[in-house]
Amino acid sequence: MRKKLLLILFFLTFIIGCSSEKRYSPDGRISFTLIEPNTSLYDTLAVSDNDTYAIIALFKMGDSSKNNNFLFATTRMKGDEAMTIKDAFNNYVRDVTPFFTTVIEAKSYKKDGKILYRKISESDFDNQKVRNIMFYFMENNNSNTLYELKGSIQSEKFNYGLDCMERIALSVKIK
Would you state the pLDDT for residue 21? Answer: 62
Would you state the pLDDT for residue 5? Answer: 36
Please indicate, yes or no, if residue 151 is contained in any of the structural domains. Answer: yes
pLDDT at 11 over 50: no
Count structural domains, the chain: 1
| CA pair distance 131, 30, nearest whole angstrom | 24
pTM (whole model) above 0.85: no
Please indicate, yes or no, if residue 12 is contained in any of the structural domains. Answer: no
pLDDT tens per residue across span 22-35:
788 888 899 999 88
Indicate the range of 36-40, 84-88, 117-121, 126-130 predicted with least confidence. Answer: 36-40
Please indicate, yes or no, if residue 125 is contained in any of the structural domains. Answer: yes
Higher pLDDT, 31 or 13: 31
Indicate the range of 5-14, 38-47, 123-132 predicted with least confidence. Answer: 5-14
Please indicate, yes or no, if residue 13 is contained in any of the structural domains. Answer: no
Please indicate, yes or no, if residue 6 is contained in any of the structural domains. Answer: no
| Whether the Cβ atoms of residue 29 and residue 44 lie closer than 8 Å to each other | no
Mean pLDDT of the chain: 83
Domain housing 162: 19-174
Please indicate, yes or no, if residue 2 is contained in any of the structural domains. Answer: no
Please indicate, yes or no, if residue 14 is contained in any of the structural domains. Answer: no
Q: CATH code at 130?
A: 3.40.1000.10
pLDDT tens per residue across span 95-149:
888 888 999 999 999 999 999 999 999 998 888 899 999 999 999 999 999 999 9
Q: What percent of the chain is modeled with pLDDT above 70? A: 82
